[in-house]
Structure 1
Amino acid sequence: MQRPMEGVRVLEVAQFTFVPAAGAVLADWGADVIKIEHAERGDAQRGLVRVLGYEAASEGSSFFPIMEGPNRGKRSVGLALERPAARPVLEKLIRESDVFLTNFLPDARAKLRIDVDDVRTINPDIIYVRGSGFGVHGEESGKGGYDSTAFWARGGSAAGVTPPDADRMTRMPAGAYGDSMGGMTIAGGVAAALYSRAMTGRPSVVDVSLIGVGAWATQFTVNLALMNGGPLPVAARPRHGSATNPLIGAYRTADGRWIELSMLQPGRYWAEFCTLAGRDDLAADERFDSTDKVMANAAEAADLVAELIASRPFAEWTRILARGDGQWAAVQNSWEVGQDPALRANGLIAPVVDADGVERELVASPVQFDGSAPGLTRAPQFAEHTDDVLRELGLSDEELLSLKIDGAAT
């Protein structure tokens, strides 16, 4: 696979998933990503033993998916940035890096002297990247945020998927849901900044906020609300189909699974669906024998579609619908996504060998180059590469030992 970021060094001073996910994507693309973890505590995400009610680690092994996903392909250096002895090491790393990634809050950046001016004083050509909850301007610029708050709640997704009469808010469908999208967004910003620097000689400061990514994800309805000058009216959605199309939306099968139909041209696909379902008579029915009639009687047609789908099991419907031209999809759980034939055919579920030598699998980042799937390497163990990286910087064994005795390095 072409690795367009080969030769680029990224220095990451970040934790959890939002900004580290960007480092993982850049590593997939060939960058040398050095992850700075606190010399004693490491990335705080390493301490999460349960996530969304699930065990976060693989029992009896070092495989830790919550770290593997956003940290694969990196090298980990344990460095206590608050200790004076660690400063010369950090400055050497900054001098040799093209990109500096961080999601530390402004006060922490100032305390550790890793804000834009601090880093640019050491390396004027470095691209400086800040991931934040609520942006770098305004009253909330110093406020921390997670994807559940800044992306999901504030960005509009939670309201968009929670019915008006619900007694509880719909939660994110997966851990680090907005963080993962935000990390991909940052990686794209870094690529643009590297291109700009190559063309103009000027480095950029790149800012991506979770609330900005959240608003971008819901931009269709946000833009409509802005056009209308106020909140959108609550639309009364039919139980099945849409107001003018019975071949839209989710339908439940006989065994309780779901099929999502998205046949946006009812006139084109109605007769085909009826034939596939073994009900040619419905296509000739005077209520539905033209596009206008299907649209005018969509509610009645949708009830019939619901009855048909409910009469057969999921597996049978996937075989039936696969014979047609209309657009549809099986509603899949996380295991089924991992087995999806399209993902596997395109190398988007990729093998990786963990620290114990066991072959595992991870979801690959979705961007590919020249039709090739990425080759993944595992995430680092805590501070696994401290000695290697510091020796590359020219430190002697005596200097390494001194840093470790001081508590500045692990």
Structure 2
Amino acid sequence: MLDGIRVIEHATYMAAPGAGSILSDWGADVIKIEPPGGDPIRNFFSTIGTDIQDNPVFDFDNRGKKSVILDTRTEEGNAILRKLAGDADVFLTNVRPGGLTRAGLDYASLAKANRKLVYCTLTGYGLEGPDADKPGFDVASFWSRAGVANLTIPKGQEPFALRTAFGDHTTSMAAAAGICAALVKAQRTGEGQLVEASLLRAALFAMGSDFAIQLFFNRIGSTKSRHETIQPLMNFFQSSDGAWICIVSRQGSVDWAPICRACGRDDLIEDERFTSAKGRRANARELVDLLDAGFARYTKVELAERLDAESIAWAPVQTLAEVAADPQVAAAGAITEVPSASGDGSTFKSPASPIRFPGADDGPSGPSPRMGEHTRDVLDRLGYSASDMDALFEKGVVA
């Protein structure tokens, strides 16, 4: 889909490299600029004493890319990066805005030499405002600052962290979409575009329904327990063999009788306490207890059959081990095979990009790169002679 698009990724950690990974899967040529010592996420497992050739966390965000080790703090390193940006289609970075401006690597500076450049900056809080230059991480900028953590906590409980890079990769998807939109404009008009992605703004869109209610009514309901929810039919119930299921009931009362039949409680259908939405909300605690007892009489397999027979929207609450073996996950193309960085021709399973293009090649184009694996190739393409390259290596500008 993106064959012929060249991306310069001046970024570390997960959110911006995640966007670069999506673009790489879709066919873009992504050159990853790493600082001396490499992207810190290369050490995700080695820091805990795990010695493996492949690093599934790093590989997920960096498969199919080229790696150049470049000290952009030096004059020569800065010049190399500017040359790379000079004929690129996309420049993707998560370096803080102040540092980019001081180095002459901000959008205004690079766009002077490349008017078609799509320049994507991915930060914690955006490019304007008092916190524009603050460091951003997903548990802080996406989860905590945006209100997601607070809204997610059941009333009376303490905050907890989100899972690894959840906010980062939500923002990766947003950044990739923004880049593709700007590429359409650049190819149509010849003019580039600044694309501003932030963990904060992506979080507020991801939580947009609740945020819209807050903005309109100036208040929002807290997260309730199963027995306190205002819509007790839209809930979680446990089978006799300990499996949890999620039920999504439609608006109004259309699913009231089908849910009663599915859990073997036909006797509740005409119970005046529960025949209206208002009644079910007023008697939620008692109703949930009654439905719990009904669902608990059946195994997970039996409940699946009964819920499907009543055309109820439901899903199992699965562990990731169960997800990995779920045939629908495989059918949706959500798992892909990534070539191993060992170079022995083996592959391993990894999450696929979020979008599939049927009939097109939309998977990993190669393994994640070794540190500086492509430095000489990239410098050669820029016109550096062998002696010039040797000098840059000797001075530590590149590696």
Do the structures match in fold with TM over 0.5? yes
Q: 2:90 — aligned with what? A: 99
Give the drift of 1:390: 2.0
Q: 2:389 — aligned with what? A: 400
Q: CA distance change for structure 1 residues 345 and 60 in 2, over 3 Å: closer, same or farther? A: same
Q: CA distance change for structure 1 residues 18 and 290 in 2, over 3 Å: closer, same or farther? A: closer
Q: CA distance change for structure 1 residues 195 and 273 in 2, over 3 Å: closer, same or farther? A: same
Map 1:7-406; keep pairs closer than 5 Å. 7-38=4-35, 40-49=36-45, 59-166=50-157, 168-172=158-162, 174-229=163-218, 231-232=219-220, 234=222, 237=224, 239-240=226-227, 242-243=229-230, 245-265=231-251, 267-283=253-269, 299-356=285-342, 357=344, 358-370=346-358, 374-376=362-364, 377-406=366-395
The 3-state SS of whatever aligns with 2:255 is helix
Q: CA distance change for structure 1 residues 160 and 293 in 2, over 3 Å: closer, same or farther? A: closer
Give the drift of 1:83: 2.0
- Pick which of 154-163 and 340-349 moved more: 340-349
CA offset digits 1:1-50 (Å, max 9, x no partner): xxx21111000101001111111111111111100001x22112223338
Tell whether the 8 Å contact from 1:347 to 1:374 is kept in structure 2 after alignment.
Answer: no
Give the drift of 1:78: 0.9
The 3-state SS of whatever aligns with 2:318 is coil
Give the drift of 1:134: 1.0
Give the drift of 1:182: 0.4
CA–CA distance in structure 2, aligned partners of residues 276 and 135 of structure 1: 49
CA–CA distance in structure 2, aligned partners of residues 285 and 224 of structure 1: 33
Tell whether the 8 Å contact from 1:241 to 1:302 is kept in structure 2 after alignment.
Answer: no
CA offset digits 1:265-309 (Å, max 9, x no partner): 463333333333344444465655788876775554332211122
Tell whether the 8 Å contact from 1:74 to 1:379 is kept in structure 2 after alignment.
Answer: yes
CA–CA distance in structure 2, aligned partners of residues 164 and 285 of structure 1: 30
Tell whether the 8 Å contact from 1:238 to 1:299 is kept in structure 2 after alignment.
Answer: no
Gaps of 5+ in 1: none
The 3-state SS of whatever aligns with 2:9 is strand
Structure 1: which amino acid aligns with 2:29?
D
Give the drift of 1:215: 1.2
CA–CA distance in structure 1, aligned partners of residues 298 and 328 of structure 2: 25
Structure 2: which amino acid aligns with 1:49?
F
Give the drift of 1:310: 2.7
The 3-state SS of whatever aligns with 1:268 is coil
CA–CA distance in structure 1, aligned partners of residues 355 and 234 of structure 2: 29
Give the drift of 1:228: 2.2
Structure 1: which amino acid aligns with 2:172?
G
Structure 1: which amino acid aligns with 2:367?
R
CA–CA distance in structure 1, aligned partners of residues 119 and 236 of structure 2: 44
CA offset digits 1:132-169 (Å, max 9, x no partner): 11111111111111011110001111011112311x20
CA–CA distance in structure 2, aligned partners of residues 274 and 228 of structure 1: 34
Give the drift of 1:73: 1.7
Q: CA distance change for structure 1 residues 289 and 184 in 2, over 3 Å: closer, same or farther? A: closer
CA–CA distance in structure 1, aligned partners of residues 142 and 24 of structure 2: 24
Tell whether the 8 Å contact from 1:348 to 1:373 is kept in structure 2 after alignment.
Answer: no
The TM-score normalised by the length of structure 1 is 0.88
Give the drift of 1:95: 1.9
- Pick which of 122-131 and 272-281 moved more: 272-281
- Pick which of 391-400 and 184-193 moved more: 391-400
CA offset digits 1:168-188 (Å, max 9, x no partner): 20321x200110010110000
Tell whether the 8 Å contact from 2:88 to 2:117 is kept in structure 1 after alignment.
Answer: yes
Give the drift of 1:238: 5.9
The TM-score normalised by the length of structure 2 is 0.90
CA–CA distance in structure 2, aligned partners of residues 189 and 353 of structure 1: 28
Give the drift of 1:240: 3.5
The 3-state SS of whatever aligns with 1:81 is coil
Identity level (%) = 34
- Pick which of 375-384 and 178-187 moved more: 375-384
Give the drift of 1:396: 2.8
Q: CA distance change for structure 1 residues 206 and 384 in 2, over 3 Å: closer, same or farther? A: same
Tell whether the 8 Å contact from 1:247 to 1:264 is kept in structure 2 after alignment.
Answer: no
